[in-house]
Structure 1
Amino acid sequence: MGFTIPGRHARGRLVRLGPVLDDVLAAHAYPPPIERVLASALVLAALLGSTLKLEDGQLTLQAQTENGVISLLVADYKNGELRGYAKFDADRLAELGPNPSLFGLFGKGYLAITFDQAVTGERYQGIVPLEGESLAHAAELYFFQSEQIPSIIRIATRHDAGEGCYAAGLMLQHLPEGEVGRERLHVRHDHPEWEHVQALAVTLQDEELTDAGLPLTDIVWRLFHEEDEVRVTEAAPLAKGCRCDLAHIRSVIGRFPPEERADMADDQGIIGVDCAFCSRIFPLAVDSFA
């Protein structure tokens, strides 16, 4: 759900993932540290992706490193659908203990945030180092460097035995020039409205964010009930979505020369193409290609 605080020139979004997160994670048998970081990435993708104003736009997060335990982490959002996966070294992960740091997982890596506007064909990307304590901190750096929009991003995860994994997040931003707000903060020396909003936002506890029994509207009320006006937009539904398609996969494999397709096949003449997002394997018979 989204909200704006006109008197403070601020806008925000809240996202909580429950069953949809379980649906995404169920396709993989990730260890808890990998589940937590992927859950954080999915929350971040939902927070950022839900700001897309045009239909069929896509937001993609990609965290990558050459020497980290996690070599690749991907999450994306399109039309309310989320998907994600991680590639990691299980042996090195086991050496880090149960609660590895962001640096322990990625080492010296980077976070790429890509917005694709399908309707207009526009595509823009920002890349920032994976620094700080979390993906949320890296995303704050992205907005500061690439968008020049002061932002607060809070992400919390928890796992209850028998109830699955929960993850939730808050994104709060100063309204940029051209919206309801005023000029950007970087051209001003005083910005008491933003400092006030920040002070309220940091009081939010992780337990509140991930509490499935606490409506998101109640969180907004707890934080900002003393403001003159808070405008809330209805929460949009989220679902697991994977866009793997057998016809598309066949067309891609069909572009390879026959001898290369033969090399891809197993002893039974089957090319197994797996989707990293949903872990499905698509069997294609070599002799089925004309």
Structure 2
Amino acid sequence: MTKDIASMVGVGLRRPHHDFFSQTPTEMGWLEIHSENYFRPDSVSRNALEKIRQDYPISCHGVGLSLGSVDPLNKKHLQQLKSLVDAVEPIMVSEHLSWSSVDGQYFNDLLPLPYTEEALENFCRNVAQTQDSLGREILIENPSSYLSFDHSTMPEWEFLIEVQKRTGCGLLLDLNNIHVSAFNHGFDSQDYLDAINPDTVKEIHLAGFTVSESDDGEVWIDTHSKPVSEPVWQLYQRWIQQHGMRHTLIEWDSNLPEPPVLLAEAEKAAMHAHHALAATFPQETAL
């Protein structure tokens, strides 16, 4: 595996691992934070981040901007995000294709959108306002979903493609979310991936999911609580082989393992990428 490939692979930085990454040298390429956890400039977490970012590039991944809501964007939230971005100088800033607030009330979840022209115009307006406020491109991540709206007029990938075209944002392609949603809604993951312009994809997320059984049948849930599944590794290797390397994140948020487990998953991602690129560019990826 080349050093260049390894430098493109990162893991999520979670509070229990602050001491590890601030005190233990690793070859990790970069770390991704949940932006909202670091808004307070005088907090313990922010102080830890200031130290860690001296050794690792940082990416800011937001979960609370609620770009799909019809509420106006929360000006305080946007201001706090800008202050964080200006201070941390992240390599990427990202948010979700979702909504989580109505009439100023926030839900502790990333809720799905109806894929309609009206929702598209609203979402694009909020993305454009965010990019104008930050003075930089943001990435939009495709969600996992467990229900769909009867009045949607386009599939998710067409909605996402239009968001990118109309706003000039980048895309954060979550392969686990595509795999989960494909099962839940009965579409083919490859159809989704084939529709996306690879030049617009700046980052890839990999994670594990949970199978939930009920009287109504089986549902796959994007829990970020397990190692990456084999089908998702296959999607990843195929995508890299076809389109080249992208910044890649191992996302693990619940049942958080010890750091060596995360490092091993990151190493596995780098090896999958190496094998994929070696099949296409054997001379450039020789060990």
TM-score, normalising length: structure 1: 0.27
Higher relative contact order, chain-length normalized (CA < 8 Å, sep 6+) = 1
- Give the structure with the larger helix fraction: 2
- Give the structure with the larger strand fraction: 1
TM-score, normalising length: structure 2: 0.27
Higher alpha-carbon Rg: 1
